[in-house]
Amino acid sequence: MIRIAALFFWLIVPMGLLWGYNTYGTPHLVLTYRFFDNGDIYNPLARRRYIDCNYLGVYGWITVPAIGEDCPWVRFFKVGS
């Protein structure tokens, strides 16, 4: 009986991926963003207040407002959002 059940254990991974897709959407990576110029635009360590973030993923470019003046590196989007 365990041998037969073991043949179906591989289904856990695709079912988990499908569940994640239906629950959260697909991952998108931030590539560009706009922020308020604080006079130190080329300093990567300067604190920035982001305005909006442009993400690239399976659904193409998606522009969304910054979350709390910050742009997460990866966000998940669904088809309708």
CA dihedral of residues 9, 12, 13, 16 (deg, nearest 10): 180
CB 49, CB 36: distance < 8 Å: yes
Q: What local confidence, expressed as pLDDT, does residue 81 receive?
A: 54
Q: What local confidence, expressed as pLDDT, does residue 37 receive?
A: 79
Sign of torsion over alpha carbons 55, 59, 62, 68: negative
pTM of the full predicted structure? Answer: 0.75
Q: Write phi, then psi, for 6 (nearest 5 degrees).
A: -65, -30
pLDDT digits (tens, 9 = 90+) for 18-55: 999 999 999 999 999 999 877 888 888 888 899 999 99
The pLDDT mean for the chain works out to: 88
Task: Classify residue 71 by burial, with Cβ atoms within 10 Å: 0-12, 13-18, 19+.
Answer: buried
Q: Which of 52-56, 59-63, 76-80 has the lowest mean pLDDT?
A: 76-80
